[in-house]
Structure 1
């Protein structure tokens, strides 16, 4: 006996999901446009919701707060980078993995950003974050938390204890410093394309690469062998 399956259920679910995605994108795009044209602190949740013709309650279904919306694209970029880092081959040295991950992320994140907002709006939002004290404080806290997360991820990759071996945190601190500098230069510069950001990042990272690149495990093994040979000779 053939049992007939209900029709239209999957289609209806797909339509609901697409509608949710459209609403989320519209709220985020509107929020960033308002933040960058009239100021973060001057913009209210009601204004964002009214512009999209939804209720305040609907806004809070998608974002916990205005702050959540302000950092939404940045969070997307960070997740993209972390995913790329996790996928790097184990044969790469730690700093090479960081460098290649961020360049790969810049190669592929552009489409995801532009699906939400034009790159110039993303740029202006970075300027708003740096010029708005409450957002800057959150940005610095989030940066510290991300650095610690990445340092632990690098330590895990290398089979190290991040609390006894300083190298993961040192490498990530150097990497993050470059990212902050290049980010500020990109925002302030004339070339505001993602390709320009990628090229600037690569150029700056290449200046510190020789100091941090290489296979740390092999270096440690060589040091151990040298120490053993010295003991034997004595």
Structure 2
């Protein structure tokens, strides 16, 4: 006599070791949970991958400063005042990588203590990154091809990033989680724009060659706007899910 399924028609699958019937209903939730966990890491992995080019460029710049590279007109301003660029590179790398893990919801829920500690450190890194970017914009000599339009963009978006991080921190101090999440996402999007800029500038270079003053400014400005548009979409999607 064979064991039958609840429908009474087909034999129940048996375990290869015990020969006892197995219950597929117990394996399905596990499979779904594993798939959901893997999907939850797609966004953090993509964000870290997007940061690869700027992180490599930053590492090269740090190597130049610490390795006694030849001083050229392009890098002379960094050798004259190395602290701002060093702080900017280190804080931006930490901000990009650690910030990516805040977009892994299962990891964040399972380790709330890590989320709080990392969040405080991200606030510090975001403020340092924004302030150092503003300092370099105001006091470093401009690179070739950097005009007034790009100068204005850098001041606007650098200030917007600083304001977003400060408002995000102030919101969580008031236990306003929704506003905290929204402002921190905006700040992270602006900070990550350097990664998008690397892609837009590279694409232009491959098609048209070195961009001029206005195209360079517009490409970089578009990168900030693209990231902020994606950030607003994420924020509104989250709000819609909560209110549904």
TM-score, structure 1 as length reference = 0.28
Larger Rg: 2
